[in-house]
Amino acid sequence: MIEISQLAKKFTVENPKKLSEQEKKDPRLKGRFFHSVENVSFHCSSGEVLGLLGPNGAGKTTTLRMLSTALTPDAGDITIDGTNVVKTPVIARKMIGFLSGSTGLYGRLTGRENIAYFGQLHGMSAAQIDTKIAELADVLDLHSFLDRKCENFSTGMKQKTAIARAVVHDPKVVILDEPTTGLDIMAAQTVLDFIQRLKEKGVPVIFSTHHLDEVSELCDRVTVIHHGKTHFSDTFDAFKAKSDGSLHQAFMRIIEQGGE
């Protein structure tokens, strides 16, 4: 179980004069601060997949980076099975598997070496790492490129390797920032199948996406954020019911109507 309550995060605007006209009109711009996330709350229980939706710039990535401990919130709480992520980030980090928007793989290392390195950082033994890599290679279809240097990987190869690296330590919660962006149909389906496997194992998964078909296929819960605030957070069925079953219209209606 992961619970997020009233998260907020602002950033200093170094030079307001260089902002675009669209950025200047954003209601989150207040003086020399841009309040990327102002009030975001949702929860995801064991065995659930939550889809985090919102327009570009809504605050999704900032929210996920706070969940992963990469950013410290200015306000709000995050707990995983009762562990306070904000107050004990080092402990919480061991419980989290996080895939950011960029893979960040070490190009001169092979896929296997990248995954193994993160296993070592999490205190896994060599035997544990080998066993886990073999398992992940099967479910993510890594065998054909696992021992090649990552600098020569395609986008799909990089993304699947990065996902394996994120979950090598069997985290209690998995957080994925647009995991299928840039992937071909087959690679994307491999990633979606892997998320389904995590769900079946009882691991809560939170992932951001712009693809509503992925939401329909996987999600038990949906959270929509806009301008840094939660506008909707409920079950997938409640989301779908917002517009007679049309997910696109449901999303647009939530954005247009504002908060819950």
Q: Each residue of 158-215: pLDDT tens digit?
A: 999 999 999 999 999 999 999 988 888 988 998 899 999 999 999 999 999 999 999 9
Tell me the pLDDT band of 15, cut-offs 50, 70 and 90: confident
Percent of the chain with pLDDT over 90: 78
Return d(Cα 156, Cα 165) in angstroms, integer: 14
Q: Mean pLDDT in the chain?
A: 92
Contacts 24+ apart (CB under 8 A), 178-184: 178/101, 178/207, 178/208, 178/209, 178/210, 179/99, 179/207, 179/209, 180/209, 180/211, 180/214, 181/101, 181/210, 182/155, 182/156, 183/155, 183/156, 183/159, 184/156
State both tokens at 250: 């449901």
Residue 165's contacts (CB-CB under 8 Å, 6 or more residues apart) are 105, 114, 115, 118
* Range picked from 23-27, 125-129, 244-248 for highest mean pLDDT: 125-129
Highest mean pLDDT among 103-112, 131-140, 173-182: 131-140
DSSP alpha helix (H) spans, 154-241:
155-167, 185-200, 212-218, 236-240
Band (pLDDT 50/70/90 cuts) for residue 87 is very high
What would the mean pLDDT of 53-78 be, rounded to a whole number? Answer: 94
Nearest to 99 by CA among 144, 189, 160: 160
The distance from CA 197 to its chain's CA centroid, rounded to whole angstroms, is 16
1-95+204-260 classified as CATH 3.30.465.10: no
Residue 103 has pLDDT above 80, yes or no: no
Residues 166/125, Cβ–Cβ less than 8 Å:
no
Q: What would the two tokens of residue 195 be? A: 């998320």
- Per-residue pLDDT tens over the stretch 122-135: 999 999 999 999 99
Strand partners, 208: 52, 177
210 beta partners = none
| pLDDT of 215 | 95
Residue 23 pLDDT: 80
Residue-level pLDDT at 127: 97
- Rounded Cα gap, residues 169 and 96, in angstroms: 9
Q: Rounded to whole angstroms, what are the CA distances from 97 to 32, 39, 213?
A: 34, 24, 24
- 9, two tokens: 């995060």
* Low-confidence winner among 1-10, 13-22, 144-153, 212-221 (lowest mean pLDDT): 13-22
Cβ 96 vs Cβ 78: under 8 Å: no
At residue 48, does pLDDT exceed 70?
A: yes
**pTM of the entire structure?**
0.90
Q: How far apart are CA 147 and CA 206, in angstroms?
A: 30
Spatial neighbors of 55 by CB under 8 A, at least 6 apart, are 226, 255
Q: Hey, what are 79's tokens?
A: 């707990």
d(CA 209, CA 192): 12
**Residue 31, pLDDT score:** 85
Residue 259 has pLDDT above 80, yes or no: no
